């Protein structure tokens, strides 16, 4: 029961973030407070029996609340490369994450970013892990690079990865 309730809370938080982002976007005068970024992450799992490397392309919607705080909504694909095999069949599942977070800038370019969300397994019966991901990064008007830890909490245990993400941000055209 707790699992369903927690997933529901995460889903409601994600929907609220999307709704709030749209509402704030209506009031922005400069037209650049909301942007989309395309990123590529490369990670190493913290448990060696999961995979050799994780390739993680993603899309991130970021809405600036002020000069030093932004809300984020991220999705993508986590491909676990080099999965172990049992009787000739690769075990494990790739994930499609959905995470909500916030960026807190220190100065003009450096930031800390906590994110939480869920991962949807690409194979049946592999579960839907809770994801938590603290990051430290550098971002300017176009580029974003971050180092992060990403934890995956399953019913049967946990795993994680250490990853680097490089992204390019598109600005919304001014009106």
| Domain boundaries along the sequence of the chain | 2-171
Q: pLDDT by residue (tens digit) across 53-69?
A: 999 999 999 999 998 99
Whole-angstrom distance, CA of residue 142 vs CA of residue 161: 26
| Fold type of domain 2-171 | Porin (2.40.160)
* Mean pLDDT in residue range 118-137: 93
Residue 110 confidence (pLDDT): 97
| Amino acid 1: pLDDT | 40
Higher pLDDT, residue 44 or 27: 44
pLDDT(19) > 70:
no
- Sequence-separated (6 or more) residues with CB below 8 Å from residue 12: none
Asked if the model's pLDDT at residue 87 lies above 80, the reply is no
The β-bridge partners of 30 are none
Non-local (6+) Cβ contacts of 111 within 8 A are 103, 104, 105, 135, 136, 137, 138, 139
- Whether residue 4 is predicted with pLDDT greater than 50 in this model: the reply is no
SS3 label, residue 32: coil
Whether the predicted pLDDT of 84 surpasses 70 = yes
Instruction: Give me the mean pLDDT over the 143-150 stretch.
Output: 97
Q: Choose between 16 and 121: higher pLDDT.
A: 121
The model's pTM is 0.78
- In the prediction, which pLDDT does 88 show? 64
Give the model's pLDDT for residue 28.
46
pLDDT at 54: 93
pLDDT on residue 39? 97
pLDDT at res. 149: 97
Across the chain, mean pLDDT equals 83
Contact 38, 61 (CB under 8 A): no
State the pLDDT at residue 109: 93
């Amino acid at each position: 029961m707790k699992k369903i309730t927690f997933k529901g809370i995460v889903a409601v938080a994600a929907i609220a973030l999307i709704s709030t982002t749209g509402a704030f976007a209506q009031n922005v005068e400069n037209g650049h407070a909301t942007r989309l970024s395309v990123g590529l992450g490369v990670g190493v799992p913290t448990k060696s029996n999961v995979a050799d490397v994780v390739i993680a392309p993603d899309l991130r919607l970021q809405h600036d609340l002020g000069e030093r705080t932004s809300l984020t909504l991220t999705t993508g694909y986590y491909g676990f490369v080099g999965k172990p095999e049992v009787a000739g069949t690769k075990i494990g599942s790739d994930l499609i994450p959905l995470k909500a977070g916030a960026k807190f800038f220190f100065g003009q370019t450096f930031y800390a970013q906590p994110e939480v969300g869920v991962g949807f397994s690409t194979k049946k019966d592999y579960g839907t892990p809770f994801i938590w991901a603290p990051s430290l990064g550098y971002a300017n008007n176009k580029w974003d690079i971050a180092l992060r830890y990403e934890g995956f909490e399953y019913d049967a245990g946990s795993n994680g990865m250490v990853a680097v993400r490089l992204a390019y941000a598109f600005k919304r055209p001014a009106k």
